[in-house]
Amino acid sequence: MTYMLDATLQLDRREADVFEGRTDQTYWNLIGPYGGWIATIMLKATMQDAAAGFEPLIISVDFMKAPGEGMIILRRQCDRAGRTASFWRVTLEMPDGTVCARAAITLAPHRETLEFSGRSMPDVPAALDVEPFDGSLLPIKWARCYETRVVKGVLGARNDDTHSLVWIRDADGRPLDHLSLTAITDSPLPRLFLATGRVSNISTISMTTYLHASVAELEEIASERILVDCESERAGGGFYDQHSKFYSPRGRLIATSHQMVWYDRAPE
């Protein structure tokens, strides 16, 4: 079986560090590809020929311009590869050379070490005790790629705060790995929508994701739903931040993501 995400991530090698891909309406946002999809295809280009045992650790993407539908070019460069980490730069370009996104990506091997965390998963109902949300109600195609169950943070009405809790997984049951997890880290709806109760013009400027989980941890989760805990610290001056934590069904923190988002909503 070919899952939706994998069908849209096909890459053809042009040169040693240059790949050709295509944007796809499956993961379309309002005016271009979903930011999570952009981050994921840039990560996939980086992981081609990755050293054995090296797994994604940090992905930081600046979204400069929405690419159009059709061919895209991904160019990568390894700035340094050592025993504990390798550091990469990747650009996503249109065929005319316009740079649409740039990323700094770090790969590293996971090792057996002391573990500790200052975070614990919120106390929420089990995923199957929460009604699925109909993603087709949203004016964005990528929302249909996910099965979501909203515990807190209803779209369509003003919320007292911008905190949301959502169970999520790929709609076609694709088992979780670093590619699909990267795509999911951009899934929380814009905090502005929760604050105002309506859809407005927004654009993510930059997103940094930390992938805490190893390949083995993600294989254990497989097709189970994960919990997304998202909130904003401050909005003003045309920008707001968005912070998300992602937990396995057994309460283990597997990723964190931070965004800065542009918006043009006037004061009310």
**Which residues form the domain of 151?**
4-109+124-263
Please give the tally of structural domains in the chain. Answer: 1
Structural domain contains residue 117: no
Helix, strand counts (H, E) of the chain: 5, 14
The phi-psi region of residue 70 (left if phi > 0; otherwise alpha if psi is between -120 and 50; otherwise beta) is left
Is a pLDDT exceeding 70 seen at residue 267?
no
Is a pLDDT exceeding 90 seen at residue 39?
yes
Collect all residues with Cβ–Cβ distance below 8 Å to 191 and sequence separation of at least 6. Answer: 162, 230, 231, 232, 235, 240, 242, 261
Neighbour-count burial for 89-109, b at 16+ CB within 10 Å, e otherwise:
ebbbbbeeeeebbbbebbbbe
Lowest mean pLDDT, pick from 80-89, 110-119, 210-219, 233-242: 110-119
| pLDDT band of 158, cuts 50, 70, 90 | confident
Structural domain contains residue 252: yes
Share of the chain above pLDDT 70, in %: 99
Given this model, what pLDDT does residue 33 score?
A: 96
> Could you tell me if 261 and 240 are in contact, meaning their C-beta atoms sit under 8 angstroms apart?
yes
pLDDT in tens, 184-241: 999 998 999 898 888 888 999 999 999 999 999 999 999 999 999 999 999 999 999 9
Structural domain contains residue 118: no
Q: What Rg, from alpha-carbon coordinates, does the chain have?
A: 18
- Look up the pTM and report it: 0.95
For residues 267 and 108, the model is more confident at: 108
Structural domain contains residue 114: no
Structural domain contains residue 132: yes
Spatial separation of the C-alpha atoms in residues 191 and 17, rounded to whole Å = 37
Return mean pLDDT, the chain: 94
Check which CATH number belongs to the domain holding 32 and give it: 2.40.160.210
Amino acid at 176: L
191, two tokens: 């905090």
